[in-house]
């Protein structure tokens, strides 16, 4: 099994990379999604940079309560992604829909691995 600290680092690095891409290139992302508004991509990118910073901090010494918050936020992200796909399906491109779904699957996997890491004897 992957150690909890490794999963948290992967979560943090992937969130940071995604956040930076969204924050630096909101116009490109909007074009890929087939929309003109860039503010939602910029805001999401900035949120992810802050989130990733927290995850990477927690990864240094994972306190169970902090990891549970990260899992909760990851779970909210997955639920929000499903809601976004449902609400925006006709307003965004097919590739945009696939990207939202793909990221949601990745985030869901991170949540599951983090939960398993919390339950492992090495973390207890």
More confident residue, 6 or 1: 6
How many CA atoms lie less than 13 Å away from 58 in the CB half-sphere? 25
Backbone angles phi, psi at 38, to 5 degrees: -105, -20
Can you give the pTM of this predicted structure? Answer: 0.93
Question: Model confidence at 110, in pLDDT bands (50, 70, 90)?
Answer: very high
Please state, rounded to an integer, the average pLDDT across all residues of the chain: 96
Say how many residues make up the chain: 124
- Give the pLDDT score at 1: 83
**CA distance between the termini of the chain:** 15
Residues of the chain with pLDDT > 70, as a percent, come to 98
User: Tokens 């918050």 belong to which residue?
Assistant: 69
- Over residues 3-21, the pLDDT tens digits come to 999 999 999 999 999 999 9
Quick one: what percent of the chain has pLDDT higher than 90? Answer: 95
Please tell me the predicted confidence (pLDDT) of residue 122: 66
């Amino acid at each position: 099994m992957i150690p909890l600290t490794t999963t948290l680092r992967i979560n943090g690095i992937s969130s940071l990379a995604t956040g930076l891409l969204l924050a630096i290139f909101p116009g490109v992302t909007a074009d890929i999604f087939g929309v003109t508004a860039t503010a939602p991509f910029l805001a999401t990118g900035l949120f992810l940079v802050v989130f990733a910073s927290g995850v990477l901090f927690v990864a240094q010494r994972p306190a169970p309560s902090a990891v549970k918050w990260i899992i909760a936020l990851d779970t909210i992200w997955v639920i929000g992604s499903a809601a976004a796909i449902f609400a925006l399906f006709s307003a965004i491109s097919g590739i945009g829909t696939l990207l939202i779904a793909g990221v949601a699957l990745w985030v869901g996997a991170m949540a599951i691995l983090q939960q398993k890491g919390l339950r492992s004897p090495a973390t207890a």
